Structure 1
Amino acid sequence: MITKPVDPLQRLREALPAEVARHFDRIEEIKSKFIPTPWQPDLVKAIDAVVTNAVQRKNPNLPLTLDNRADTKGLVVIGPTRSGKSRAFRQYFDHHPVFAGYSDPSSASPLLWMSVPSPCTIVQLGRSILTASGYPLERDLPAHRVFEMARNRLREMSKSFLYIEELQHSTHDVPLKEQLNVCDALKTLMESEHIALFLTGVETLLPFVGLDPQLDERLAKFYFRKLVPQQQELLTDMVHVYAEATGLDVAYSDDDALFARLSHASLHAFGLSIETTINAIADCLRKDEKTLTREHFACAYAAKSGRTALDNPFLADRWHEIICKTHVEEANELGPPAATERDKARK
């Protein structure tokens, strides 16, 4: 008699400590909750424009075919790490009647979702396409052959849209000549295979696509900006939505500057602010407390960063001077932003 092997991940889940398992389902549920940002409607319009263009006929007197389509367009979304770019796209595709099912490359969805490694050369781009499509390449082949196989694979699977995240990896320790090769490959996908591209990454992605004027002209640009003090009410709403979903109250005062601290600790990235909030809620639930406070955020930050109270932006008096990552940005010398009127009204 042959017995089905037990999934080790399922065994691990079943072996979770009681204090963790007790709230595990609630944390899972809120992690799946999507909080729209003020720029989500504009992003939806930008994606819709690419999708609409993909089914527009070049000659309206003839049927829609691969060869009778308008020049293929695409979209580049630029934003800081953990700002919520991929999550916003998933929200769109998951609820679209045609794109749904894209997570399974063998599905009828016209979209293939993929990410690329760092550094990303034309060989790595081709291999990533093949792997994402369910056809990993085990042997070494010349660059032109790998990319040719990737093109054929996309054609065989009838994929018309390609989502590539972290494409700024094409600039990481990659010689300029190879960057141009990757740009040329992407342009070929759009021109010869009529594949619309959705590309996401940080700011270094923008000059990369600008290396090829023809590729750059085909790609619309959309920006996920860092949070600014005037958007603290967005964080206020987000924290309350997640807390209420788990049955928690939220307690803070003007002196706490909770949402300004949250933005600073999360590098002013909305997605990272959500992650920090969920970790704070998990800490509150583990302690069997009913009210989410700044101390829970401090514990969540300490657990992730390993920093002491002196370097914890949820505890330090001069929190706005703390650099919450190891490089790039300087501390805010202007001091903490004032609480907005809406912040005060929520308490």
Structure 2
Amino acid sequence: MLGTAVLWIDEAHDLFQSGTPSEVRDILKTLKSLMQGDGAVIVILTGINSLWQIASYDGQVKRRYTKISLPELSNAKDGKAISKQMEVFCNRAGLRPPDEADLVQRLVYASRNKFGLCIENILHAIELALKSEADQLTMQHFAEAWAMQEGCDYRGNVFLAPRWSEIDLAVPVIN
């Protein structure tokens, strides 16, 4: 309605990782040209922290972009909202929401306190629940999704281990 076009490139760091300095400059020049003139496009780049350093390579690009970092999640601050969002997703998928008391705490920890990973983990668990024709999303669905994602056994699975908060997520526990 407003004639505004937005191009959102998620995992944008992948555009630059294997590029030579001249290829990186060319990509940045292309993005810069998209943001100019009558048909200007709003460009949103999302990705890992190093993306900002890559995009800052060019002074004009650096001035044109605003860096926004989402704050880390915490169960205390965000647990109720995460639980509510999981409920919304479950309702849309035709599943009853999970009822395990510490699931959201485990989810936030497993997602490394990152909003995007939290949503991905919820959706992956829902997908597994639907594939298994379950009528309720459970901790087990999260455990299976986590094992597939992380390649870990039960000792390293945040959704199965009794002392899950002691698991070092930087060091996978593999069979």
Cα deviation, residue 231, structure 1 = 1.4
Q: 2:24 aligns with which of 170, 179, 192?
A: 179
Query: Is the CA contact (8 Å cut-off) linking 2:35 and 2:43 kept in structure 1?
Result: no
Q: Which residue does the alignment assign to 1:221?
A: 67
Task: Give 1:182 deviation, angstroms.
Answer: 3.5
Aligned length: 169
Where does residue 85 of structure 2 map in the other structure?
A: 238
Change (3 A) 1:275 1:182: closer
CA–CA distance in structure 1, aligned partners of residues 37 and 140 of structure 2: 56
Matched, 1:281 2:136: no
> Which string of whole-angstrom CA distances, capped at 9 and with x for unpartnered residues, describes residues 58-99 of structure 1?
xxxxxxxxxxxxxxxxxxxxxxxxxxxxxxxxxxxxxxx456
**Do structure 1's residue 264 and structure 2's residue 109 form an aligned pair?**
yes
> Equivalent of 1:252, from 100, 103, 108?
100
Unaligned stretches of 5+ in structure 1? 1-96, 100-109, 112-160, 328-347
Q: CA RMSD in A?
A: 3.2
TM-score norm. by structure 1 comes to 0.41
Q: State whether structure 2 residue 50 is matched by structure 1 residue 204.
A: yes
Matched, 1:319 2:164: yes
Alpha-carbon distance in 2 for matches of 1:288, 1:208: 44
Taking structure 2 as the reference length, what is the TM-score of the superposition?
A: 0.72
Counterpart of 2:53 in 1: which secondary structure?
helix
Q: Does the 8 Å contact 1:280/1:296 carry over to 2?
A: yes
Instruction: Provide the C-alpha distance between the structure 1 equivalents of 2:8 and 2:137, rounded to a whole number of angstroms.
Output: 37
Question: For residue 126 of structure 2, what is the amino acid of its counterpart?
Answer: I
**Residues 322, 193 of structure 1: alpha-carbon distance in 2 compared, 3 angstrom cutoff:** farther
How far is 1:262 from its partner? Answer: 0.8
| In structure 2, distance between residues paired with 1:167 and 1:303 | 24
Between the aligned partners of 1:163 and 1:250, the Cα distance in structure 2 is 32
* Contact 2:12-2:45 at 8 Å conserved across structures: yes
Q: Is residue 2:145 matched to residue 1:300?
A: yes
- Tell whether the 8 Å contact from 1:280 to 1:297 is kept in structure 2 after alignment: yes
- Match of 1:205, SS? helix
Query: Which structure would you say has the larger Rg?
Result: 1
1:169 to 14, 19, 31: 14
Change (3 A) 1:233 1:218: same
